[in-house]
Protein backbone atom coordinates (compact mmCIF):
# COMPACT_ATOMS: atom_id res chain seq x y z
CA UNK A 1 0.00 0.00 0.00
CA UNK A 2 1.47 3.30 -1.02
CA UNK A 3 0.05 5.41 1.79
CA UNK A 4 1.82 7.47 4.38
CA UNK A 5 1.18 9.79 7.27
CA UNK A 6 1.37 13.50 6.44
CA UNK A 7 3.45 15.92 8.50
CA UNK A 8 1.78 16.82 11.76
CA UNK A 9 -0.02 20.17 12.06
CA UNK A 10 2.30 22.77 13.57
CA UNK A 11 2.07 23.19 17.34
CA UNK A 12 1.93 26.95 17.15
CA UNK A 13 -0.58 29.71 17.77
CA UNK A 14 -4.09 29.23 16.44
CA UNK A 15 -3.64 31.44 13.40
CA UNK A 16 -0.17 32.81 12.56
CA UNK A 17 -0.11 35.55 9.93
CA UNK A 18 -1.32 34.15 6.64
CA UNK A 19 -2.28 30.79 8.16
CA UNK A 20 -5.66 29.11 7.96
CA UNK A 21 -7.53 29.66 11.25
CA UNK A 22 -7.52 26.61 13.48
CA UNK A 23 -11.29 26.73 13.89
CA UNK A 24 -11.66 25.95 10.17
CA UNK A 25 -9.36 22.94 10.50
CA UNK A 26 -11.35 21.67 13.48
CA UNK A 27 -14.61 22.04 11.56
CA UNK A 28 -13.18 20.05 8.65
CA UNK A 29 -11.76 17.35 10.95
CA UNK A 30 -15.17 17.03 12.62
CA UNK A 31 -16.80 16.57 9.20
CA UNK A 32 -14.28 13.84 8.35
CA UNK A 33 -15.01 12.13 11.67
CA UNK A 34 -18.74 12.21 10.93
CA UNK A 35 -18.07 10.63 7.53
CA UNK A 36 -16.12 7.76 9.11
CA UNK A 37 -18.82 7.27 11.72
CA UNK A 38 -21.25 7.04 8.80
CA UNK A 39 -19.23 4.24 7.18
CA UNK A 40 -17.19 6.25 4.69
CA UNK A 41 -13.43 5.71 4.47
CA UNK A 42 -11.16 8.38 5.83
CA UNK A 43 -9.39 8.57 2.48
CA UNK A 44 -12.65 9.39 0.70
CA UNK A 45 -13.61 11.90 3.38
CA UNK A 46 -10.30 13.72 3.16
CA UNK A 47 -10.57 13.94 -0.62
CA UNK A 48 -13.63 16.17 -0.09
CA UNK A 49 -11.68 18.65 2.02
CA UNK A 50 -10.63 21.73 0.07
CA UNK A 51 -7.00 21.36 -1.06
CA UNK A 52 -5.64 24.30 0.95
CA UNK A 53 -6.85 22.70 4.20
CA UNK A 54 -6.25 19.05 3.36
CA UNK A 55 -2.67 18.45 4.64
CA UNK A 56 -3.35 19.96 8.06
CA UNK A 57 -6.80 18.36 8.33
CA UNK A 58 -5.34 14.97 7.44
CA UNK A 59 -2.70 15.32 10.14
CA UNK A 60 -5.34 16.26 12.71
CA UNK A 61 -7.73 13.52 11.56
CA UNK A 62 -5.09 10.80 11.80
CA UNK A 63 -4.40 11.85 15.38
CA UNK A 64 -8.13 11.92 16.12
CA UNK A 65 -8.70 8.39 14.75
CA UNK A 66 -5.77 7.12 16.79
CA UNK A 67 -7.50 8.33 19.97
CA UNK A 68 -11.16 8.17 18.95
CA UNK A 69 -12.20 5.56 21.52
CA UNK A 70 -10.55 7.59 24.26
CA UNK A 71 -12.39 10.70 23.11
CA UNK A 72 -15.73 8.88 22.98
CA UNK A 73 -15.20 7.60 26.52
CA UNK A 74 -14.25 11.03 27.83
CA UNK A 75 -17.26 12.61 26.16
CA UNK A 76 -19.54 10.10 27.91
CA UNK A 77 -17.91 10.94 31.23
CA UNK A 78 -18.48 14.63 30.60
CA UNK A 79 -22.04 14.31 29.27
CA UNK A 80 -24.03 11.08 29.36
CA UNK A 81 -26.44 12.30 26.70
CA UNK A 82 -24.74 12.82 23.34
CA UNK A 83 -25.25 16.20 21.68
CA UNK A 84 -26.33 16.39 18.02
CA UNK A 85 -23.90 14.55 15.67
CA UNK A 86 -21.98 17.57 14.35
CA UNK A 87 -21.46 18.96 17.84
CA UNK A 88 -20.49 15.54 19.18
CA UNK A 89 -17.94 15.15 16.39
CA UNK A 90 -16.40 18.56 17.10
CA UNK A 91 -16.26 17.83 20.82
CA UNK A 92 -14.63 14.43 20.25
CA UNK A 93 -12.09 15.91 17.83
CA UNK A 94 -10.85 18.29 20.50
CA UNK A 95 -10.87 15.64 23.24
CA UNK A 96 -8.86 13.29 20.99
CA UNK A 97 -6.30 16.03 20.33
CA UNK A 98 -6.08 17.34 23.89
CA UNK A 99 -6.40 14.33 26.20
CA UNK A 100 -2.65 13.64 26.19
CA UNK A 101 -1.06 17.04 26.67
CA UNK A 102 2.37 15.77 25.63
CA UNK A 103 1.01 14.82 22.18
CA UNK A 104 -1.35 17.75 21.62
CA UNK A 105 -0.63 19.60 18.35
CA UNK A 106 -1.70 22.92 19.93
CA UNK A 107 -1.93 24.19 23.51
CA UNK A 108 -5.07 22.85 25.18
CA UNK A 109 -6.59 26.27 25.85
CA UNK A 110 -6.05 27.20 22.21
CA UNK A 111 -7.87 24.05 21.11
CA UNK A 112 -10.79 24.81 23.42
CA UNK A 113 -11.01 28.44 22.33
CA UNK A 114 -10.95 27.51 18.65
CA UNK A 115 -13.46 24.69 19.13
CA UNK A 116 -15.94 27.18 20.56
CA UNK A 117 -15.22 29.49 17.65
CA UNK A 118 -15.78 26.61 15.23
CA UNK A 119 -19.11 25.83 16.91
CA UNK A 120 -20.28 29.44 16.68
CA UNK A 121 -19.45 29.62 12.97
CA UNK A 122 -21.42 26.54 11.88
CA UNK A 123 -25.21 26.57 11.72
CA UNK A 124 -25.43 22.94 12.91
CA UNK A 125 -23.40 23.61 16.06
CA UNK A 126 -24.08 27.25 16.91
CA UNK A 127 -26.71 26.37 19.50
CA UNK A 128 -24.27 23.90 21.12
CA UNK A 129 -21.35 26.34 21.51
CA UNK A 130 -22.05 26.89 25.20
CA UNK A 131 -22.38 23.16 25.85
CA UNK A 132 -19.09 22.46 24.04
CA UNK A 133 -17.35 25.24 25.96
CA UNK A 134 -18.64 23.93 29.30
CA UNK A 135 -17.59 20.33 28.58
CA UNK A 136 -14.11 21.28 27.44
CA UNK A 137 -13.47 23.72 30.29
CA UNK A 138 -14.46 21.00 32.75
CA UNK A 139 -12.18 18.58 30.95
CA UNK A 140 -9.21 20.93 31.37
CA UNK A 141 -9.94 21.29 35.09
CA UNK A 142 -10.37 17.55 35.70
CA UNK A 143 -8.18 16.08 32.96
CA UNK A 144 -6.05 13.76 35.12
CA UNK A 145 -9.01 12.26 36.95
CA UNK A 146 -11.07 11.84 33.79
CA UNK A 147 -8.22 10.20 31.88
CA UNK A 148 -7.59 7.84 34.80
CA UNK A 149 -11.25 6.80 34.75
CA UNK A 150 -11.15 6.25 31.00
CA UNK A 151 -8.11 3.98 31.46
CA UNK A 152 -10.44 1.45 33.06
CA UNK A 153 -12.14 0.86 29.69
CA UNK A 154 -10.04 -1.45 27.44
CA UNK A 155 -11.62 0.04 24.31
CA UNK A 156 -10.50 3.54 25.33
CA UNK A 157 -7.08 2.33 26.45
CA UNK A 158 -6.28 0.37 23.27
CA UNK A 159 -8.33 2.46 20.83
CA UNK A 160 -9.86 -0.53 19.04
CA UNK A 161 -13.39 -1.96 19.13
CA UNK A 162 -13.93 -4.65 21.76
CA UNK A 163 -14.40 -7.40 19.14
CA UNK A 164 -11.12 -6.42 17.47
CA UNK A 165 -9.20 -6.53 20.76
CA UNK A 166 -10.69 -9.95 21.56
CA UNK A 167 -9.80 -11.39 18.15
CA UNK A 168 -6.21 -10.12 18.21
CA UNK A 169 -5.80 -11.45 21.75
CA UNK A 170 -7.13 -14.85 20.68
CA UNK A 171 -5.05 -15.02 17.50
CA UNK A 172 -1.79 -13.73 19.03
CA UNK A 173 -1.90 -14.33 22.80
CA UNK A 174 1.78 -13.48 23.31
CA UNK A 175 1.93 -10.35 21.14
CA UNK A 176 -1.57 -8.85 21.21
CA UNK A 177 -0.62 -5.82 23.29
CA UNK A 178 2.34 -4.99 21.05
CA UNK A 179 0.14 -5.28 17.95
CA UNK A 180 -2.47 -2.88 19.35
CA UNK A 181 0.21 -0.50 20.54
CA UNK A 182 1.93 -0.54 17.15
CA UNK A 183 -1.39 0.33 15.49
CA UNK A 184 -1.39 3.67 17.31
CA UNK A 185 2.10 4.63 16.14
CA UNK A 186 3.19 6.50 13.02
CA UNK A 187 4.22 4.39 10.05
CA UNK A 188 7.58 5.09 8.44
CA UNK A 189 8.02 6.08 4.82
CA UNK A 190 9.81 3.24 3.04
CA UNK A 191 10.97 3.35 -0.57
CA UNK A 192 11.48 0.52 -3.04
CA UNK A 193 14.34 1.03 -5.48
CA UNK A 194 13.65 0.30 -9.15
CA UNK A 195 16.74 -1.82 -9.71
CA UNK A 196 16.35 -1.50 -13.48
CA UNK A 197 17.18 2.20 -13.13
CA UNK A 198 19.20 2.56 -9.94
CA UNK A 199 21.01 0.47 -7.34
CA UNK A 200 20.01 0.59 -3.69
CA UNK A 201 23.43 1.96 -2.79
CA UNK A 202 23.31 4.72 -5.42
CA UNK A 203 19.79 5.81 -4.41
CA UNK A 204 20.78 5.86 -0.75
CA UNK A 205 23.86 7.93 -1.58
CA UNK A 206 21.74 10.41 -3.55
CA UNK A 207 19.35 10.86 -0.64
CA UNK A 208 22.17 11.37 1.82
CA UNK A 209 23.89 13.84 -0.51
CA UNK A 210 20.72 15.93 -0.42
CA UNK A 211 20.60 15.85 3.37
CA UNK A 212 17.82 13.25 3.64
CA UNK A 213 18.54 10.77 6.43
CA UNK A 214 17.75 7.20 5.39
CA UNK A 215 18.84 3.58 5.90
CA UNK A 216 18.80 0.52 3.64
CA UNK A 217 16.23 -2.20 4.47
CA UNK A 218 15.95 -5.57 2.77
CA UNK A 219 17.30 -6.19 -0.71
CA UNK A 220 15.99 -3.05 -2.41
CA UNK A 221 14.31 -0.92 0.24
CA UNK A 222 15.21 2.40 1.84
CA UNK A 223 13.51 3.76 4.95
CA UNK A 224 13.46 7.52 5.40
CA UNK A 225 14.10 8.94 8.86
CA UNK A 226 11.17 11.33 8.32
CA UNK A 227 8.26 11.21 5.87
CA UNK A 228 8.23 13.80 3.12
CA UNK A 229 5.85 14.76 0.30
CA UNK A 230 6.10 12.11 -2.42
CA UNK A 231 6.80 14.55 -5.30
CA UNK A 232 9.83 15.87 -3.38
CA UNK A 233 11.50 12.46 -3.06
CA UNK A 234 14.63 12.52 -5.21
CA UNK A 235 14.21 10.11 -8.12
CA UNK A 236 10.50 9.53 -7.68
CA UNK A 237 9.33 11.37 -10.80
CA UNK A 238 12.16 9.73 -12.77
CA UNK A 239 10.92 6.27 -11.78
CA UNK A 240 13.97 5.39 -9.68
CA UNK A 241 11.97 4.74 -6.50
CA UNK A 242 8.43 3.98 -5.34
CA UNK A 243 6.78 4.18 -1.93
CA UNK A 244 6.10 0.70 -0.51
CA UNK A 245 6.21 -0.72 3.01
CA UNK A 246 9.00 -3.16 3.85
CA UNK A 247 6.54 -5.99 4.47
CA UNK A 248 4.84 -5.48 1.10
CA UNK A 249 8.25 -5.50 -0.59
CA UNK A 250 8.63 -9.19 0.28
CA UNK A 251 5.94 -10.30 -2.19
CA UNK A 252 7.89 -10.25 -5.46
CA UNK A 253 11.06 -11.90 -4.10
CA UNK A 254 9.03 -14.64 -2.39
CA UNK A 255 7.16 -15.49 -5.58
CA UNK A 256 10.15 -15.27 -7.92
CA UNK A 257 12.81 -17.02 -5.86
CA UNK A 258 13.82 -20.26 -7.56
CA UNK A 259 11.35 -19.92 -10.44
CA UNK A 260 12.97 -20.85 -13.75
CA UNK A 261 11.43 -19.55 -17.01
CA UNK A 262 10.29 -22.26 -19.44
CA UNK A 263 12.56 -22.71 -22.48
CA UNK A 264 12.02 -20.06 -25.11
CA UNK A 265 9.79 -17.64 -23.22
CA UNK A 266 9.71 -15.45 -20.09
CA UNK A 267 7.75 -16.30 -16.98
CA UNK A 268 4.00 -15.78 -17.36
CA UNK A 269 2.66 -14.19 -14.13
CA UNK A 270 -0.80 -13.16 -12.95
CA UNK A 271 -1.22 -10.36 -10.40
CA UNK A 272 -4.85 -11.06 -9.53
CA UNK A 273 -5.74 -8.00 -7.41
CA UNK A 274 -3.15 -5.57 -8.66
CA UNK A 275 -4.18 -1.97 -7.95
CA UNK A 276 -2.49 0.41 -7.38
CA UNK A 277 0.27 -1.55 -9.12
CA UNK A 278 3.14 -1.59 -6.64
CA UNK A 279 3.59 -5.36 -6.61
CA UNK A 280 3.05 -5.62 -10.38
CA UNK A 281 5.86 -3.10 -10.84
CA UNK A 282 8.13 -4.92 -8.37
CA UNK A 283 7.70 -8.16 -10.32
CA UNK A 284 8.60 -6.44 -13.58
CA UNK A 285 11.56 -4.67 -11.97
CA UNK A 286 12.87 -7.95 -10.57
CA UNK A 287 12.58 -10.44 -13.45
CA UNK A 288 12.13 -10.83 -17.17
CA UNK A 289 8.46 -11.76 -17.22
CA UNK A 290 5.08 -10.91 -18.66
CA UNK A 291 2.46 -9.86 -16.13
CA UNK A 292 -1.30 -9.83 -16.45
CA UNK A 293 -2.58 -7.34 -13.87
CA UNK A 294 -6.25 -7.45 -12.89
CA UNK A 295 -8.49 -5.21 -10.89
CA UNK A 296 -12.26 -5.23 -10.81
CA UNK A 297 -12.46 -1.40 -10.79
CA UNK A 298 -11.55 0.41 -14.06
CA UNK A 299 -10.60 3.55 -12.10
CA UNK A 300 -8.11 1.53 -10.07
CA UNK A 301 -6.75 0.04 -13.29
CA UNK A 302 -5.94 3.57 -14.38
CA UNK A 303 -3.75 3.87 -11.29
CA UNK A 304 -1.88 0.71 -12.32
CA UNK A 305 -1.20 2.28 -15.73
CA UNK A 306 0.06 5.47 -14.06
CA UNK A 307 2.38 3.51 -11.77
CA UNK A 308 3.86 1.50 -14.64
CA UNK A 309 4.25 4.51 -16.90
CA UNK A 310 6.24 6.40 -14.27
CA UNK A 311 8.55 3.41 -13.84
CA UNK A 312 8.95 2.69 -17.55
CA UNK A 313 7.29 -0.73 -17.32
CA UNK A 314 4.53 -2.53 -19.22
CA UNK A 315 1.90 -5.10 -18.26
CA UNK A 316 -1.36 -6.44 -19.63
CA UNK A 317 -3.75 -4.50 -17.39
CA UNK A 318 -7.38 -5.62 -17.42
CA UNK A 319 -10.49 -4.47 -15.58
CA UNK A 320 -11.90 -7.85 -14.61
CA UNK A 321 -13.09 -9.91 -11.66
CA UNK A 322 -10.36 -12.37 -10.72
CA UNK A 323 -12.99 -14.68 -9.26
CA UNK A 324 -14.63 -15.04 -12.71
CA UNK A 325 -11.82 -16.36 -14.98
CA UNK A 326 -14.24 -17.27 -17.77
CA UNK A 327 -14.67 -13.54 -18.47
CA UNK A 328 -10.97 -12.79 -19.01
CA UNK A 329 -8.73 -15.89 -19.03
CA UNK A 330 -7.60 -17.07 -22.45
CA UNK A 331 -6.66 -20.59 -21.41
CA UNK A 332 -2.87 -20.32 -21.11
CA UNK A 333 -1.74 -21.47 -17.64
CA UNK A 334 0.34 -19.11 -15.56
CA UNK A 335 3.76 -20.02 -14.19
CA UNK A 336 3.11 -17.94 -11.09
CA UNK A 337 0.15 -16.17 -9.50
CA UNK A 338 0.21 -13.39 -6.93
CA UNK A 339 -3.04 -13.17 -4.99
CA UNK A 340 -2.95 -10.10 -2.76
CA UNK A 341 -6.49 -10.72 -1.63
CA UNK A 342 -9.03 -8.17 -0.36
CA UNK A 343 -8.98 -8.22 3.44
CA UNK A 344 -9.82 -6.28 6.60
CA UNK A 345 -6.56 -4.26 6.36
CA UNK A 346 -6.04 -5.04 10.05
CA UNK A 347 -2.27 -5.06 9.50
CA UNK A 348 -2.01 -1.50 8.17
CA UNK A 349 -3.87 0.45 10.85
CA UNK A 350 -0.79 2.63 11.36
CA UNK A 351 -1.34 3.99 7.84
CA UNK A 352 -5.14 3.89 7.93
CA UNK A 353 -6.22 4.60 11.54
CA UNK A 354 -9.84 4.92 10.45
CA UNK A 355 -9.99 1.19 9.60
CA UNK A 356 -10.95 -0.11 13.09
CA UNK A 357 -13.94 2.25 13.08
CA UNK A 358 -15.10 1.13 9.63
CA UNK A 359 -14.90 -2.63 10.12
CA UNK A 360 -17.47 -4.84 11.79
CA UNK A 361 -16.85 -8.24 13.38
CA UNK A 362 -18.87 -9.88 10.59
CA UNK A 363 -16.51 -8.44 7.96
CA UNK A 364 -13.78 -10.93 8.88
CA UNK A 365 -15.82 -14.00 7.94
CA UNK A 366 -17.28 -12.33 4.84
CA UNK A 367 -13.84 -11.41 3.56
CA UNK A 368 -12.48 -14.86 4.42
CA UNK A 369 -15.21 -16.33 2.21
CA UNK A 370 -14.21 -14.02 -0.65
CA UNK A 371 -10.56 -15.01 -0.21
CA UNK A 372 -11.53 -18.69 -0.36
CA UNK A 373 -13.48 -18.09 -3.59
CA UNK A 374 -10.51 -16.35 -5.17
CA UNK A 375 -8.14 -19.16 -4.19
CA UNK A 376 -10.51 -21.77 -5.62
CA UNK A 377 -11.07 -19.82 -8.85
CA UNK A 378 -7.39 -19.07 -9.55
CA UNK A 379 -5.75 -22.37 -8.56
CA UNK A 380 -6.84 -24.14 -11.79
CA UNK A 381 -5.14 -21.38 -13.81
CA UNK A 382 -1.71 -22.31 -12.41
CA UNK A 383 0.53 -24.62 -14.44
CA UNK A 384 1.76 -27.84 -12.76
CA UNK A 385 4.97 -27.01 -10.94
CA UNK A 386 3.91 -23.36 -10.76
CA UNK A 387 3.61 -21.27 -7.63
CA UNK A 388 0.95 -19.11 -6.05
CA UNK A 389 1.75 -16.53 -3.41
CA UNK A 390 -1.27 -15.75 -1.24
CA UNK A 391 -1.00 -12.63 0.88
CA UNK A 392 -3.15 -10.24 2.88
CA UNK A 393 -2.34 -7.12 4.90
CA UNK A 394 -4.11 -8.65 7.89
CA UNK A 395 -3.14 -9.91 11.34
CA UNK A 396 -6.29 -12.00 11.70
CA UNK A 397 -5.62 -15.74 11.40
CA UNK A 398 -8.96 -16.31 9.61
CA UNK A 399 -7.48 -14.34 6.70
CA UNK A 400 -4.06 -15.96 7.03
CA UNK A 401 -2.88 -19.32 8.26
CA UNK A 402 -6.37 -20.73 8.91
CA UNK A 403 -7.38 -19.79 5.36
CA UNK A 404 -4.34 -21.54 3.89
CA UNK A 405 -4.58 -24.61 6.13
CA UNK A 406 -8.15 -25.10 4.93
CA UNK A 407 -7.16 -24.65 1.29
CA UNK A 408 -4.30 -27.17 1.47
CA UNK A 409 -6.55 -29.72 3.16
CA UNK A 410 -9.07 -29.40 0.31
CA UNK A 411 -6.53 -29.43 -2.53
CA UNK A 412 -4.23 -32.43 -2.51
CA UNK A 413 -2.12 -30.99 -5.35
CA UNK A 414 -1.21 -27.93 -3.25
CA UNK A 415 2.05 -28.02 -1.29
CA UNK A 416 2.84 -25.29 1.22
CA UNK A 417 6.45 -24.14 0.78
CA UNK A 418 8.50 -22.36 3.48
CA UNK A 419 6.84 -18.95 3.93
CA UNK A 420 6.93 -16.07 6.42
CA UNK A 421 3.36 -16.65 7.59
CA UNK A 422 2.11 -13.78 9.75
CA UNK A 423 4.38 -10.74 9.86
CA UNK A 424 3.06 -8.71 12.76
CA UNK A 425 3.15 -4.90 12.64
CA UNK A 426 6.37 -3.77 14.20
CA UNK A 427 7.12 -0.18 15.18
CA UNK A 428 10.62 0.92 16.11
CA UNK A 429 11.30 1.04 19.82
CA UNK A 430 8.12 -0.54 21.20
CA UNK A 431 7.90 -4.08 19.87
CA UNK A 432 10.51 -6.21 21.57
CA UNK A 433 7.97 -9.05 21.88
CA UNK A 434 7.26 -9.08 18.12
CA UNK A 435 9.91 -11.00 16.13
CA UNK A 436 12.04 -8.86 13.84
CA UNK A 437 12.39 -10.30 10.33
CA UNK A 438 15.31 -8.04 9.51
CA UNK A 439 13.34 -5.10 8.12
CA UNK A 440 12.82 -3.60 11.57
CA UNK A 441 9.77 -1.40 11.10
CA UNK A 442 6.96 -2.72 8.92
CA UNK A 443 3.22 -3.28 8.54
CA UNK A 444 1.34 -6.45 9.38
CA UNK A 445 1.14 -8.97 6.54
CA UNK A 446 0.55 -12.65 5.85
CA UNK A 447 2.39 -14.68 3.23
CA UNK A 448 1.89 -18.29 2.12
CA UNK A 449 3.73 -19.74 -0.89
CA UNK A 450 1.99 -22.69 -2.56
CA UNK A 451 3.38 -25.02 -5.23
CA UNK A 452 1.17 -27.01 -7.58
CA UNK A 453 2.21 -30.63 -7.70
CA UNK A 454 2.36 -32.28 -11.09
CA UNK A 455 -0.41 -34.88 -11.60
Task: Give me the catalytic one of 92, 198, 203, 393.
Answer: 393
Structural contact between residues 271 and 338, judged by C-beta atoms closer than 8 angstroms: yes
What is the crossing angle of helices 108-120 and 129-141, to 10°? 170
Determine the Cα angle at 393 with ends 366 and 375, to 5°: 55
Q: Is 289 a catalytic residue?
A: no
Nearest to 100 by CA among 91, 111, 108, 109: 108
Distance from CA of residue 113 to its chain's centroid? 33
What DSSP element (H or E) covers 220? none
Largest CA distance in the chain: 77
What is d(CA 49, CA 31) in angstroms, rounded to the nearest whole number?
A: 9
Distance from CA of residue 377 to its chain's centroid? 27
3-state secondary structure of 290: strand
What is the crossing angle of helices 85-98 and 129-141, to 10°? 20
What DSSP element (H or E) covers 326? none
Structural contact between residues 442 and 245, judged by C-beta atoms closer than 8 angstroms: yes
Catalytic residue annotation: 393
Amino acid sequence: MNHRDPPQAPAASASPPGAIPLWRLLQAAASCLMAVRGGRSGTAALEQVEPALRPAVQALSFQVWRSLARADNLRRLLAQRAPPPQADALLCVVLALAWDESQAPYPSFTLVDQAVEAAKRHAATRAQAGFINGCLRRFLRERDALVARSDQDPVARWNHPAWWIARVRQDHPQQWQQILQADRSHAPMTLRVNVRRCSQADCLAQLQAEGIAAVAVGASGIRLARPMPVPRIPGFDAGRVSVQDAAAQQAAPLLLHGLVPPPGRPLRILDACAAPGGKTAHLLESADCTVTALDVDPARCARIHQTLERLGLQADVRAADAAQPASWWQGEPFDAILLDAPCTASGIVRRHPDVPWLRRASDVDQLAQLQARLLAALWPLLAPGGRMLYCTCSVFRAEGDIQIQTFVERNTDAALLPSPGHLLPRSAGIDAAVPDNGDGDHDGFFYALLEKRAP
